[in-house]
Structure 1
Amino acid sequence: MLRLTHYALGGGCACKIPAGELEAVLAGLTGLTVGAPQGDLLVGLDTGDDAAVVRISAGQAVVSTADFFTPVVDDPYDWGRIAAANALSDVYAMGGRPLVALNLLCWPREGLSYDVAGEVLRGGADIAAKAGCHLAGGHSVHGPEPLYGMAVTGMADPDRLMRNDAGRPGLPLSLTKPIGSGVLNNRHKATGETFPQAVEVMTALNADAAALATDAGVRCATDVTGFGLLGHLYKLARASGVTAELDAAAVPVIEGAWEAIRDGYVPGGSRRNLEWVAPHLDPGDAGEHTLLLLADAQTSGGLLIAGEIPGAPVIGRLTPRGDHPVVIRGTAAHLRV
């Protein structure tokens, strides 16, 4: 049986460069404008948002992003679907709709059959079609690890953008997908156990949630991916100048994730996320297992919205900035360890 995950050191968004290290690399680039851009750069590097946005006319803006990663599951078709949904999510997180995508593929051509690569690309194409997004070529290279994702261009109304720096005190926080994909993917890689419930979450598009949010007047959101719920919540609170109070017991969790945490299947990326956020966090009564799950590196996670939409549980609220950007209230009773 092909174990595609064994060709990669990391898995999915857990293979991201750790947030603290990445911010150090990018420290000298924020606020820079290169050349003479056409239109207005509305969202760039400064707040570490999900995508770049450039205004091209009074009612139109271009949304641009790229995302790719190593195999997160062994099934190549499912990996392609997950990677594509994850790349498209950055456009939805800004309140946009994807128009055209380009494949990004790195393949160890002497170790893995091109038939497997074809299945990966087929999965990506099916998700792009589901999203109504054109898929028009791309770029491929040979490398030691398989990597797949997409560069995506979308459109948005510049007056209806959702940004990570637009949070205001008093707004509720909602989450549109359960968390726990990181620990379940890690268990899958280690044991070969399959978790179709996690694949279902990771392949679900954030299109409907984004449309509901923008129609409801939401102007602050981000998607939850490799830096975990805590990491992305911290970035949102920091960029918005507020404190985010999180009700740990209200956070939805994928079936099996608690058990994966208990049994020790915690990705290194999830531990690094917690180390990065810890100095900016008031954990309250939350135990180690709760904190690790809240910091779990997600792949193709949901939208974290400063507002309310149908079907998305409210998991906290934004308050005036206090001593910590993120505060945890409560914990699941069986995870007080």
Structure 2
Amino acid sequence: MEKRLTHFSSGSGCGCKIHPAKLEEILKDVRSDVQSFPNLLVGNEASDDASVLKINDEWALVQTVDFFTPIVDDPYVFGQIAAANALSDVYAMGGKPLMANALLCWPVEELPAEQASKVLEGAKSVCDKASIPLAGGHSINIKEIAFGLSVTGTVHPQKILKNTGAVVGDVLFLTKPLGTGILSTALKRGKLNENGYEALLRVATELNTIGAELVAINGVHAVTDVTGFGLYGHLIEMCKASEVSAEVYFDKVPKIAEAVQYIQEFILPDNTFRNWNSYAQFIDCPLPETFAWLNDPQTNGGLLFAVAEHAVDTLLNTFQKHGTTQFLLEPIGRILPKDEKIIYVKR
């Protein structure tokens, strides 16, 4: 019987991220020294999606690395999802990817090399779609599987999209539905049906190329992608960095319909609870049904961004040209003045 990739991972996709509080403890003494490196335009000081280094007045390099444990058992699809997720960090900064290198952790004595090769083939197919080379990489022999990419891109130094800068009155949009964490957990537990699997692949393999188009819209103030810390976690990071609060309209938040039945069966990722425990103190929410969705750790989730109201029509035109579904063209919330709580949820 062929061994399942997900049996070689204690976590799943971006849900295997280190606990936010523990990560803060790890990073507290190694924040970016922007004084010593004035060309470092974005470092790790604000939990942004990628680092950015200015080359000259026209060019800046965008650099990221992202890898995780298997979210699916098909090695080719795992490679696709991991590659799309890593590329998302560059798109979230408004950048265009240039090249990628692979990071492969593989138990060579327990799983055939052919499966590892399929992972790389899947990643290459996504890099081909993004019109960049998968140029090289590094591998290690280890018991737990992990795969991802280091990606280099470019952006104009004056057009970087950060997770800071949200302004009171801005409208919030999310470009993908939530629920990949729920579906991937159902898969790992052997419960996911065919429709759920197709929905998981549809969302998790989609490239966030819309990010590279947002830089042309005057009024897009803050952008991030929603991954392992869920919508709550990434919106809180944006609000903290921007010194604002936000309200979320739960009924407007896009959700993967196929995930509903698994919520009803209480099939939720362990990190759903981790996320809530990390962020509950910052949230005012009277709606218990939001717990599973807004804490759900996403893998290659959508872009979350704050945009000025005067730019919404331009934004929607860009969405429609990009082929975004009509359901995702509604705002999911609004930026508020800084308050006692960071997020207020209502219908």
- 2:20 corresponds to which letter in structure 1? A
Cα distance between partner residues in 1 of 2:300 and 2:141: 25
Cα distance between partner residues in 2 of 1:116 and 1:33: 42
Structure 1 unaligned blocks of 5 or more: 331-337
- 1:168 corresponds to which letter in structure 2? V
Cα distance between partner residues in 2 of 1:305 and 1:313: 12
Change (3 A) 1:296 1:95: same
Question: What CA deviation, in whole Å up to 9, does each residue of 1:56-92 have, x standing for no partner?
Answer: 1112110000000000001111100000000000000
Aligned Cα RMSD in Å?
1.4
Matches within 5 A, 1:1-337: 1-32=2-33, 37=37, 40-191=39-190, 193=192, 194=194, 195-207=197-209, 209-217=210-218, 218-283=220-285, 285-287=286-288, 289-307=289-307, 308=312, 309-310=315-316, 311=324, 312-330=329-347
Query: In 2, are the aligned partners of 1:160 and 1:219 still within 8 Å (CA)?
Result: no
Question: What CA deviation, in whole Å up to 9, does each residue of 1:258-317 have, x standing for no partner?
Answer: 22122111111121011111011111x210x41221110000001001124334331001
Question: How many percent of aligned residue pairs carry the same amino acid?
Answer: 42
- 1:253 corresponds to which letter in structure 2? K
Structure 2 unaligned blocks of 5 or more: 317-323
TM-score of the aligned structures, taking structure 1 as reference length: 0.93
The count of residues paired between Structure 1 and Structure 2 equals 325
Question: What CA deviation, in whole Å up to 9, does each residue of 1:124-182 have, x standing for no partner?
Answer: 00000100112111000011111100000000011111111111101100000001000
- 1:145 corresponds to which letter in structure 2? E
Cα distance between partner residues in 1 of 2:4 and 2:140: 21
- 1:251 corresponds to which letter in structure 2? V
- 2:137 corresponds to which letter in structure 1? G
SS in 2 for 1:163: coil
Q: How far 1:322 sits from its partner (Å)?
A: 1.2
Cα distance between partner residues in 2 of 1:96 and 1:305: 15
- 2:174 corresponds to which letter in structure 1? L
Q: Name the residue aligned to 2:321.
A: none
Cα distance between partner residues in 2 of 1:247 and 1:192: 30
- 1:67 corresponds to which letter in structure 2? D
Query: In 1, are the aligned partners of 2:164 and 2:221 still within 8 Å (CA)?
Result: no
Q: How far 1:33 sits from its partner (Å)?
A: 5.1
Question: What CA deviation, in whole Å up to 9, does each residue of 1:18-67 have, x standing for no partner?
Answer: 11110111111224359x64x61111111100000111111211000000
Cα distance between partner residues in 2 of 1:101 and 1:286: 42
Query: In 2, are the aligned partners of 1:161 and 1:219 still within 8 Å (CA)?
Result: no
Cα distance between partner residues in 1 of 2:177 and 2:80: 18
Query: In 2, are the aligned partners of 1:176 and 1:313 still within 8 Å (CA)?
Result: no
Cα distance between partner residues in 1 of 2:27 and 2:261: 37
